[in-house]
Structure 1
């Protein structure tokens, strides 16, 4: 699918969730969502299933057992979601299916709760999507959305790295390549939904009741001593692999190759590898401190249906 090939490949999705989903907030989010044992929960636009697993891991800690279903239209993302479940979650009550959020393949009044992570920020038809969610939720059930308050980082620092010529070279070349990415496939081809600021009113306007909002903070840095060495290694290697995959997919496009020489291509891949090795070599440092932070908005509304 175009999404996972050119915009957010599975590895990139998984790595970005490491800073979008604050692990310390798991108990709080489960509490806000009101998840209890025996509930049927649907994750719409689940991608690689990162948010589903995030919730399930906390429920296992609380000895709560629920049935989860994740749905996404991108076959590659669902394939990876299934793989992650088999490798990382020791329960059998999570299933992932390929499907259309604008025509959910479920009976009316099936789920106790529907969740989505970033979906309403990118959906091309949020009204139809929300109406479908309302249709398949039981009377008295809830619908919840997590979206970023900003597509960029709301606070950040570029860090205190030693001046190395190759880092400046990588930065300049990366800026050029990002520009070409946008020229060939603009971000706005993919980000089509509502900004987080509009979602609370949108929920109320769509008929949901008791609409409530919660702010969820997030911050990330490889200099952070609160992160384990293993977590940092996974992130460094994952982001490297994600960018290499994305770049090679774009290189297949004739229009992309009009703006970049083969020498620049080879140089970029070499510099990405050098940057990865540099970060891995300095994984225990506590002085560079490039970091970024922001917040997500959790919006929840209850479904009331006429009998």
Structure 2
């Protein structure tokens, strides 16, 4: 069982180490398979070109990492995550993917990226920003490592504002989702973390302002599926 009395970074690490074997299956279940459509929407907005480079932070089991590699065709793609168990699942998927050879996986800290300034065309983070100890620091690091004119992209669960959908969403998120974790993954305590992690996380417009505060330009934000998720995009000034 994950110990929520630990510092956030240790607690989140324990959660993802434990849920890694069932992570992909549970994503399909708890999002009703919508996470795939959200990622496709993000990729359309990003318009990755052949040869582009990218770093995918909190890459987990590498679904987005693989999408970036397919869009880039032959560009270098780096996936970074602090959970070795998640990376192990991702590594098995990459090994059988036709674009896997261009992907490098690294176990590391999203708040201290081991890369020089202006290294990538894109920096992405999918369903990971709410789990980091300091989201501002992570966004600053993402901005630092992308090239001038490069793009910082966040795909994340969010907070609907319109009733009655808002009430139904929070009932599902707080009450039903952890039960799904218990039934389908024997991980009730770990899946209680998901609604807990959203409570202090900024809403869509607040996160867009944070993008601007760290120096990103042309910031765009898109609500997805009634606002249960959101896509944020910002450009590093040339």
Quickly name the TM-score band, shorter chain normalised.
Answer: 0.7 to 0.9
Structural mapping, 1:26-45, within 5 Å: 26=40, 28-45=41-58
Equivalent residue for 2:232? 299
CA–CA distance in structure 2, aligned partners of residues 11 and 150 of structure 1:
28
CA–CA distance in structure 2, aligned partners of residues 215 and 3 of structure 1:
27
* Contact preservation (8 Å) 2:66, 2:100: no
Distance apart, 1:186 and its partner CA: 6.4
Q: TM-score, normalised by structure 2?
A: 0.72
Change (3 A) 1:103 1:215: same
Distance apart, 1:41 and its partner CA: 0.5
Root mean square deviation of aligned Cα: 3.5
CA–CA distance in structure 2, aligned partners of residues 188 and 214 of structure 1:
21
Q: TM-score, normalised by structure 1?
A: 0.57
CA–CA distance in structure 1, aligned partners of residues 68 and 86 of structure 2:
18
Q: Larger relative contact order (C-alpha < 8 A, sep ≥ 6)?
A: 1
Gap regions ≥5 residues in structure 1: 158-169, 218-292
Question: What number of residue pairs does the alignment pair up?
Answer: 205
Is 1:14 the counterpart of 2:24? The answer is yes
* Contact preservation (8 Å) 2:69, 2:100: no
- Candidates 183, 208, 218, aligned match of 1:200: 208
* Contact preservation (8 Å) 2:17, 2:83: no
* Contact preservation (8 Å) 1:3, 1:74: no
* Contact preservation (8 Å) 1:118, 1:148: yes
Deviations 1:234-258 (A, max 9, x none): xxxxxxxxxxxxxxxxxxxxxxxxx
Change (3 A) 1:89 1:210: same
Query: 1:30 is paired with a residue of what secondary structure?
Result: helix
Gap regions ≥5 residues in structure 2: 1-12, 161-165, 173-178
Query: 1:128 is paired with a residue of what secondary structure?
Result: helix
Equivalent residue for 2:197? 191
Query: 1:104 is paired with a residue of what secondary structure?
Result: coil
